[in-house]
């Protein structure tokens, strides 16, 4: 190992593992944890033979399988195990296989949440060092003006809705939001227009999106238009390759029956690329406590911030079928236009949940929050209760860049991109 910072980092990881071995062994098992500590010690001492590297890869695969069958503190420990193993393996070949090392560090973020004390910050530092020292990436930050989207959005009314989502003339006070507006959906037109993501650091710019990530990055992508379909799947994909499929920046996306839709959906991209987090302004509303009278049993997200931020990026036509979530949601449209359909929780008995009808992706009712109805289609005689009971209470609207939509937990919602679209959801 000739890169001093990589060698020093590997030694630090090995030291942390030795110091915490008893605590970690209680959840992962002494044999597995001791094996990881032994490998870490050998790598930190300068060993890097092919057999040792393969052993690290075996440990990474082992931790991945354990995460799939674990929960609670055991899951948290296996996530740290996976993260540490990915860091060790990446550092061991940082000079020779830089892009592979960066992709492996991205997997630690995507799959395991970069679990462990300061591991996320460490991974960000390692990725950037590798990009700058070995791939010649620039560290210079710059402003990029917005790129216009020339495709006109469709603003036609959704047949499965009878009304329009209301919008407020001005943002409510925090007190008014909590007491008067938190129980019904509304739109704040242009609320996010001053965000850097719509101004000097425009997310409509492919150049800027490539810059904030740097070379060698991978992201999780949905393959297929609808996750209810048999041919739908997920995979990790090169970030720059995925961007070429989005249609952002005026690029043309070739579309045919053999080219599946690619959609980055419900992914914490702002954690993976932290510069993007600086480009948005989280509304103060998300830090207000819901009224215990209106929502007596509400449980916010379980992370420290009680806030989950996800990104949604894809070409024209990307689609989220009607479903509901357990959290309050501020949904911000950053780039492009997206049509939204909403129906109240009282509609649930007539929404035909997929779990009741059978789904290729259902496991023990996991898709019971998703409807089998295509709410953007026309009535063909199917799902009569939906058309009779839900449609009279359903609403729709087309979000424009800068618009922010709020809706409470339990509301059924579906989304359809009318142009290339980049959105951010905030569950709180």
Give the 3-state secondary structure of 308-341.
Answer: EEEEEEECCCCEEEEECCCCCEEEEEEECCEEEE
**Other Cβ atoms closer than 10 A to 121:** 11
What pLDDT was estimated at residue 58? 97
Compute the distance between CA of residue 347 and CA of residue 343 in angstroms, rounded to an integer: 7
Distance CA 217, CA 211 (A): 11
Angstrom distance (rounded) from CA 32 to CA 344: 48
- The residue among 171, 189, 190 whose CA lies nearest residue 181 is 171
pLDDT of residue 252: 66
> Residue 5: what pLDDT?
78
Q: Which CATH class is domain 163-427?
A: mainly beta
Residue 267: strand pairing partners: 311
- The structure's pTM equals 0.91
Measured in degrees and rounded to the nearest 5, phi and psi for residue 63 equal -65, -40
Contacts by residues 348-351 (CB-CB < 8 Å, ≥ 24 positions apart): 348/324, 348/412, 349/385, 349/389, 350/385, 350/386, 350/388, 350/389, 350/390, 351/322, 351/386, 351/390, 351/412
Per-residue confidence (pLDDT) for residue 257, from 0 to 100: 60
Per-residue pLDDT for the chain (428 aa), expressed as one digit of tens each? 445 777 889 899 999 999 998 888 999 999 999 999 999 999 999 887 889 999 999 999 999 999 999 999 999 999 999 999 999 999 987 666 678 999 999 999 999 999 998 999 999 999 998 898 877 776 665 556 655 555 556 556 799 999 999 999 999 999 999 999 999 999 999 999 999 999 999 999 999 999 999 999 999 999 998 898 888 999 999 999 999 999 998 776 666 666 789 999 999 999 999 999 999 999 999 999 888 889 999 999 999 999 999 999 999 999 999 999 999 999 999 999 999 999 999 999 999 998 755 444 443 344 589 999 999 999 999 999 999 999 999 999 999 999 999 999 999 999 999 999 999 999 99
pLDDT at residue number 136: 75
Q: What is the DSSP letter of 396?
A: E
């Amino acid at each position: 190992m000739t890169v001093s910072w990589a060698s020093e980092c590997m030694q630090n990881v090995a030291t942390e593992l030795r110091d915490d071995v008893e605590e970690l062994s209680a959840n992962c098992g002494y044999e597995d944890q001791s094996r990881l500590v032994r490998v870490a010690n050998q790598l930190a001492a300068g060993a890097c033979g092919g057999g040792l590297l393969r052993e690290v890869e075996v440990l990474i695969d082992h931790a991945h399988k354990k995460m799939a069958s674990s929960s609670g503190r055991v899951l948290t420990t296996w996530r740290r195990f996976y993260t540490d193993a990915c860091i060790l393996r990446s550092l061991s070949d940082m000079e020779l296989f830089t892009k592979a090392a960066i992709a492996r560090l991205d997997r630690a973020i995507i799959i395991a949440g970069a679990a462990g004390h300061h591991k996320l910050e460490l991974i960000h530092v390692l990725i950037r060092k590798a990009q700058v020292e070995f791939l010649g990436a620039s560290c210079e930050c710059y402003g990029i003006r917005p790129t216009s989207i020339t495709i006109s959005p469709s603003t036609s009314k959704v047949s499965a809705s009878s009304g329009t989502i209301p919008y407020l003339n001005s943002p409510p006070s925090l007190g008014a939001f909590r007491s008067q507006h938190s129980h019904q959906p509304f739109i704040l037109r242009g609320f996010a227009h001053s965000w850097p993501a719509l101004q000097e650091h425009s997310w409509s710019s492919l150049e800027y999106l490539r810059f904030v990530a740097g070379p060698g990055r991978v992201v999780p992508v949905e393959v297929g238009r609808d996750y209810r379909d048999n041919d739908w799947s997920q995979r990790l994909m090169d970030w720059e390759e995925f961007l070429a499929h989005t249609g952002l920046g005026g690029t043309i996306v070739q579309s045919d029956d053999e080219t599946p839709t690619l959609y980055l959906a419900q992914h914490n991209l702002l954690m993976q690329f932290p510069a993007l987090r600086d480009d948005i302004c989280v509304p103060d509303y998300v830090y207000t406590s819901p009224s215990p009278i209106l929502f007596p049993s509400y449980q916010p997200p379980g992370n420290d911030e009680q806030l989950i931020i996800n990104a949604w990026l894809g070409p024209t036509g990307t689609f989220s079928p009607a479903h509901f979530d357990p959290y309050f949601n501020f949904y911000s449209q950053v780039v492009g236009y997206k049509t939204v359909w909403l129906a109240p929780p009282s509609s649930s008995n007539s929404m035909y949940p997929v779990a009741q009808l059978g789904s290729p992706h259902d496991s023990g009712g996991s898709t019971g929050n998703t409807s089998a109805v295509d709410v953007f289609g026309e009535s063909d005689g199917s799902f009569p209760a939906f058309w009779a009971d839900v449609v009279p209470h359903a609403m729709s609207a087309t979000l424009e860049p800068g618009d922010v939509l709020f809706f409470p937990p339990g509301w059924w919602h579906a989304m359809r991109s009318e142009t290339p679209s980049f959105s951010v959801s905030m569950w709180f």
